Each structure stands twice: as C-alpha cells, then as structure tokens.
Amino acid sequence: MTFFPGAIIKKGMQVMWPAFLVLAANTLLAAGDEFTFIAGPAAFWKVPVRYLRLSLILALPLFLLSLFSTAMRGILRRGGRELVATTGRDTAITAVKSYIIRPIQGIGVTLLLGSKLLSFLQSFAAIPAGVATVLPPPQFSPGRLLALSAIVAFVSLLLSYLWSVDDLGVRHRNNRTGEIKMVGKYLGVLLPTLFGVSGFFSLLHDEPWPLAVGHLMQMAIVLYPPFLTLAVFHALYLQRRGGMLLGKITGGTEASPLPM
C-alpha cells in the first residue's frame, strides 16, 4: 500500500493552484530582477527546485506522524487527563483553512523558531546581528541548509499533529471533573505570526523598516507555496488514514455523548 496513491497525488496537484500561481509570479519577477534572493535566468530552475526541496522537507515528517502522536498521547495523559475522540471531523480542503490560515501559521512558526535560533547563536557564538545572519547568503552554505531543514521539518511535524487534533475532532478531558474542552480551533493564527514577525524584525533592527518589511515579504512568498502544499497533503492524508491516526492520538478513547 502506497502512502499517497497516484489518484490522491493528482487531486492534490489540482487543488494547489494558489501555490503554483505564487510560484510562477515569483519565478518571473526573479528572472527579471532580484526577487526572493534569486536573480536572472537561473530563477527558472532555482525557484522550482527551492519549492520542491522545502515541500519535500515538509511532507516527509508525515511518515512520523503516527509515532509522534503515540508519544504525545503518553505525555498528555499525565495528571488524570486524556484526549478523547468525538464525531466532529473536518478533513475537507477549504480555501480559508488550506489556502490562508494554515500557510500563515506555518510561516509564522517558522519565522519564530528561526529568529529564536539565530538569537541563541548570536549570544552563544558572538555572531553579529544584521542582514548577513538572517537572509540567504549569496553562496551555498551547507550549515544554513541543514539548520533551515531541521527547523522546517520540526514545524511540519508539530503543526501536522495539532492540525490532526483539530480536524479529527479530538477533545481534552479531565477525568477528575469530567470536563471536556476543545483542544484549539485553528490554533491561534495571529499569535505565532505576530511573534515570528517581531522576532524577525528584532534581528534586522539596524535596517531601515521599508527594507526589513521587503525582506519579510520575500521570505513569506518563499514559504507560502510549500506550506500550502503541506496543508493540502495533510488533509489528503487524513482523508485516507484519519481513522488509524485517530486511534494513535486517543488510544481508542471516545467521548459520549458529545457536549454542546
């Protein structure tokens, strides 16, 4: 049994048109002048390759989602609490959730973790702050590539788990009181985004704000297509294997009846 059959991959490609639209505009702008840290005719292969690389790094953690869910179940069951399954599921691909909310969440959390990592490195290794430490260097840097890959993969695994909890209708129950609460619808879009943006700007405090805003927008454009791709294929993954994953998250525990 394949992880994603050809029919599902084809369906995913059909609904990812916003990602391809942004990718095409990015390529054309970069081919004419420097944009998203790429310039010239090389943009016709560098922009798609960058998108494929980031999308692959984001998609691969889906293979670990069931194991991660089992581990999280053991952690969250401590203290007389547990996650329980309800009948409220929503695994559909929608414009608001899949094209706007979840890509924005991915971008915000990535910027937040990236800025925290760079702040730590600057204090630990006395690396000077500024554009050189934040933006992609003109030459290939294996160290930066590995660091970015690790951050993106961790963000993917974390968001995929939290999205699964939302989409599969999982609730948090206190066994002492019997109280059942929603774990978190859409996980707060603005909070991680605002923290990520503020962290990014803190690393560019010496730059004029128009340049800093421009750099931030370019990074968001780079990250938007891969995170939209993750949101779509995450939904397709739940449509195919949601029942199995729900068992991993809750251990087969159900809430009945569902509280209003």
Residues 6+ apart with CB under 8 A from 245: 65, 66, 69, 164, 168, 238
Q: What percent of the chain has pLDDT over 90?
A: 35
In whole angstroms, give the CA distance from residue 43 to residue 214. 19
Among 12-26, 79-93, 116-130, the range of highest mean pLDDT: 12-26
Least confident of 14-18, 48-52, 143-147, 243-247: 143-147
**Residue 61 gets which letter from DSSP?**
G
Q: Kindly write down the DSSP assignment for every residue of 63-123, as one continuous string.
A: GGHHHHHHHHHHHHTTTTEEEEE-S-------IIIIIIIHHHHHHHHHHHHHHHHHHHHHH
Among 1-5, 18-22, 169-173, the range of highest mean pLDDT: 18-22
Band of pLDDT at residue 260, cut at 50, 70 and 90: very low
Determine the pLDDT at residue 125: 53
**DSSP H or E run through 54:** helix 43-59
Mean pLDDT for the stretch of residues 3-29: 83
Q: Return the closest-CA partner of residue 155 out of 249, 51, 62, 254.
A: 62
Mean pLDDT for the stretch of residues 240-249: 91
Q: What is the pTM (predicted TM-score) of this model?
A: 0.86
Q: Does residue 127 carry a pLDDT above 60?
A: no
**What is the pairing mode between strands 170-174 and 81-85?**
antiparallel
In whole angstroms, give the CA distance from residue 216 to residue 112. 12
Q: What percent of the chain has pLDDT over 70?
A: 75
- The CA-atom distances, in angstroms, between 119 and each of 101, 122, 177, 213 are 27, 5, 42, 19
pLDDT digits (tens, 9 = 90+) for 131-149: 555 666 666 667 777 878 8
Band of pLDDT at residue 121, cut at 50, 70 and 90: low
Mean pLDDT for the stretch of residues 106-122: 78
pLDDT digits (tens, 9 = 90+) for 158-189: 899 989 988 998 887 766 666 666 665 555 56
- The CA-atom distances, in angstroms, between 202 and each of 110, 129, 134 are 15, 9, 11
